[in-house]
Amino acid sequence: MRITVIGSGYVGLVTGACLAEVGNDVLCLDIDQAKIDMINAGGIPIHEPGLDQLVARNMAGGRLAFTSDPARASSHGRVQFIAVGTPPDEDGSADLKYVIAAARNIARHMTDYKIVVDKSTVPVGTADKVREAMASVLAERGEEIPFSVVSNPEFLKEGAAIDDFMSPDRIVIGADEPRAIEAMRTLYSPFVRNHDRLLVMNVRSAELTKYAANSMLATRISFMNELSVLAERVGADIEAVRVGIGSDSRIGYSFLYAGCGYGGSCFPKDVKALVRTAADNGVDLDILRAVEGANDRQKRLLVDKVKKLFGERLHGRHFALWGLAFKPKTDDMREAASREIIAGLLAAGATITAYDPVATDEAKRIYAEESRITFSIRPLDACQGADALIIVTEWKEFRSPDFDGVRERLKQPVIIDGRNMYVPRDIRELGFEYISIGRP
C-alpha cells in the first residue's frame, strides 16, 4: 500500500518505519523542517532502541521517505495516518488542534478516496470532529470526494515500541464502513500471521479503549504505591505482597511494582483526559481522581524520606541521583518522577549530581539555567562527595553496581532506592543504610 503518516514524532516515526519494513510505500509528513532535515541526514529526533537502523534500512530501500509538503503527503497515500501530538489543555482535556489541522490539510489537497486513521491518542468523539472538519473543507472546495475515518489507537511502550508494533498483543480498529475495515485488515495482515489479533469495533469504542487501557495500568501502579505506604506502617514487605497477589491468575504480576510514581507522555495525560471526558459527559470517575492524587504523592515520597533522614533544610547537602528518564530505555523526561524529586531537593537547598545512560542531554536542556544540578558521564562519578545516593529509574546497569566504589565515594553510606532494586539484607550487609519503598 501507499501510506502517508502525518507527524514524525514518537508514534509517527515508529508507525511509518514499521509499515515500511513489511514492504509498504510510506511517506512521513512533518511541518518541522528541521526535523525532516535531521531524519533525511541520518539522524533520529527520539531515543528508541533499534529505530535508527530501521529507518535507515527502509530509506535506503526506497520504502520510506520524509517531507514537509502537505500537498505531496495528501496525494501519496490512500491510507492517511494522523499521528500528531495531543498535549493536555489547561483543563486536562486533550488539545486536538493539531489533529484537526491535519484532517483539514488532507481534505484541502485530496483528489480521490482516502482512509483517514486517527493514530494519535484522542478522546471519544474525535473521529466525528475529524469527519466534520474534512467535510467542511471539501464543501468549501465544492467537491464531493468520499473518505472514511478510522480509529486505530497505538499501544506502544517506549523502549520496546518496535517489538510492540511488529508483534502486537492486539490491533484495535474502530470503523463502520466495510471497505475501510477490509483495507485495515489488509494493511495489518503481515503482523497477525500467527493468529488474528485484529479487533474490530465501532469508532467510539476504539477511542475509549486506548484511554481505558492506560488508565487501568496507571490504577494498578497507584494501588501498589498506596499499599506500599501502608506496608511500611504495619511492618509488611510490599515485594512479598506483590508476589502473593500476583500469583493469582486473575491478577497477574504486570504493573504491580511499587516505586516513586509513574510518568511519561501517556499515563499522566491520558488519565487526566479520561477524567475530563467523563466530566464533560456528566460522569465522575472517582477512582481515576484517586489514582492521580496517589501518583502525585508518591513522586514526593523520596524527598520526604531524604528530609526524614537529613532534616527539612538541606542547605549544604549534596546528593547523587541515578536515573532521569521516566523509565528505562528512553530519554523521555516528561512527567518523570526525577523532575519532582529534583525540584523538591533544590527547593530545600540541596545540590545534585545526576547520571542517566541516555537522558542526560534532555536533562541539560531542561535545567540549562539551573547551576545547582550537574551531570556525570559515569554512575560512580555522580556519587563523589554525596551525602546519599538516590535511585529513581530502574536501568539495568544499576542492578549490580560496584557497591564498594559507591561506598568509598559517598560521604556516608546511604542509598535511598525509589525502585526497590536491591534485597535490603544484602545491601545492609555491605555496610549501607538502605531505604526503599514499602519494605521494613
Residue 163's CB is within 10 A of a number of other CB atoms, namely 14
Is 266 annotated in the active site? yes
Cα gap 116→387, rounded to integer Å: 55
Element (H, E) at 246: helix 238-246
Residue 55 sits at the vertex; the CA angle it makes with 49 and 56, to the nearest 5 degrees, is 110
Question: Looking at residue 17, what DSSP letter applies?
Answer: H
Radius of gyration of the chain (CA): 24
Q: Which of 28, 260, 266, 383 is catalytic?
A: 266
171 with 192: CB under 8 angstroms? Answer: yes
List the 25-29 sheet strands across, edge first: 64-67, 25-29, 2-6, 79-82, 114-118, 147-151, 171-174, 198-201
Distances in Å between the Cα of 401 and the Cα atoms of 79, 111, 318 are: 49, 60, 20
Q: Are 86 and 95 in contact (CB under 8 A)?
A: yes
What does the buried/exposed string (b/e) look like for 39-53 if buried means 16 or more CB atoms within 10 Å of the residue's CB? beeeebebbbeebbe
- 375 near 344, Cβ under 8 Å? no
Cell triple for residue 261?
510514581
Residues that are catalytic: 266
